[in-house]
Amino acid sequence: MGRVLLLFLSLVLPLAAQDGKADREFTVKSLDRIAKPVLESLAAGKLKAQMPLGPGEKGRASYTCLEAFGRTMAGISPWLALGPDKTPEGRLRERYILLSRQALVMATAPDSPDRMNFSEGGQPLVDAAFLSQALLQAPAQLWEPLKEEEKANLADALKQTRKIKPPQNNWLLFSALVEAALWKLTGECEMPPIQRALEKHEQWYLGDGVYGDGPEFHWDYYNSFVIQPAMLAVLDVCREKNHELASRWPAVLGRAKRYAAVQERLISPEGTYPVMGRSSAYRFGAFQHLSMMARRGELPQDLEPAAVRGALTAVIRRTLAAPDTFDKEGWLRVGAVGYQPSIREGYISTGSLYLCLAGMQHLGLRANDPFWTAAPKAWTQKRIWAGEDVKADHAHGK
């Protein structure tokens, strides 16, 4: 146990020594380690055969493969959108682009051994939405090269989720994401789910950059796991289509910037953060929103991109260095920091855990972007706890 602890500390303590190039190399390597079992298995038509289920997860067998696939793609698609190049990273990215396209075919072809469940039970709506998010983030790599039959199979799979009625909470945005992807990619959609999701979340806005999950507030990270990233993605399509719903954009973006500032302040000087609320087993996926805002170039003005880079890298490094995060075959195990089976909730299975990759959306920024090339900067809590005089924080107005 002593050796494991020493290894863990050796990996997490030199956080301040990392420069932008090292941060990116580490993050790409981590993405590769996490995503590889999912996409290699699915591209070969063997995901159902090889996907492990932990104790108490057998009832999730019909959902876990789409969970793993949709969530993996939601996380890595901004990186895939950069396309291949001749660098080692670019060649790795090309491999993942090809794996991802083949995985899309295997997941949706009627005769595939890994044809996935898009209609039975409620859960498929969630992960079809994460898959839709991926298609919105990298259409040139994931949609446009597909054959017409393959596009038809994929669109049909997404449409199958229309029979699933979402409850009155963040799930409304899952239906909206599916319809937004169909709207962008095929020109056809059902508008009521998009309108309903945006209208309800406007009603559920609670102030200072935070929405309720339904009419009530929850102490958890669902504003980052789902709510704010989904609203931004859906409104992107509304703006592209010049729809009247795009008028909501300025208010939603202002709130999103405030929530990004809050998220950055949640990261401690040591790269830890408060683990609380539902779905804590999604690990650093809790910071999807901050990662996405960095990738979009829409961080608050007073947040330096290099500081956000350092904070996100610190969280990812600290999390993945924990012992027993992966099983012997390389699949994620349930837990927030290492293997912690008691943190598992009834809707969690191995596939669910891959939403952690959503916390790597900032890899969608090119390696020569200032986010990666700027000299390391301390993030807010690191500055405060070092005794630096940091200006006061204030709530967001509307």
- What is the amino acid identity at position 221? Y
Angle between helices 249-265 and 288-296 (to 10 degrees): 120
Strands (E), the chain: 205-207, 210-211
Structure tokens at 256: 């999103």
Q: What proportions of the chain, in percent to the nearest 5, are helix, strand and coil? A: 65, 0, 35
Report helix, strand or coil for 219. coil
Per-residue pLDDT tens listing for the chain (398 residues): 455 444 444 444 444 447 899 999 999 999 999 999 999 999 999 999 999 998 889 999 999 999 999 999 999 999 999 999 999 999 999 999 999 999 999 999 999 999 999 999 999 999 999 999 999 999 999 999 999 999 999 999 999 999 999 999 999 999 999 999 999 999 999 999 999 999 999 999 999 999 999 999 999 999 999 999 999 999 999 999 999 999 999 999 999 999 999 999 999 999 999 999 999 999 999 999 999 999 999 999 999 999 999 999 999 999 999 999 999 999 999 999 999 999 999 999 999 999 999 999 999 999 999 999 999 999 999 999 999 999 999 999 75
Q: Report the predicted TM-score, pTM, of the whole model to 2 decimal places.
A: 0.94
Query: Considering Cα of 249, then 79, then 130, then 112, what sign does the dihedral take?
Result: positive
Report helix, strand or coil for 326. strand
**Residue labelled with tokens 């993605």:** 233
What was the pLDDT predicted at 397?
76
Calpha distance 18→373 (Å, rounded): 12
Asked if 28 and 320 count as a contact pair (C-beta separation under 8 A), the reply is no
Domain ranges of the chain: 27-385
- Which phi-psi region, left, alpha or beta, contains residue 263 (left: φ > 0; alpha: ψ -120 to 50)? alpha
What was the pLDDT predicted at 15?
47
Q: How many helices (H) and strands (E) does the chain have?
A: 17, 2
What was the pLDDT predicted at 1?
45
What was the pLDDT predicted at 19?
87
Looking at 1.50.10, 3.40.50, 1.10.3470, 1.10.3210, the CATH number of the domain 27-385 comes to 1.50.10
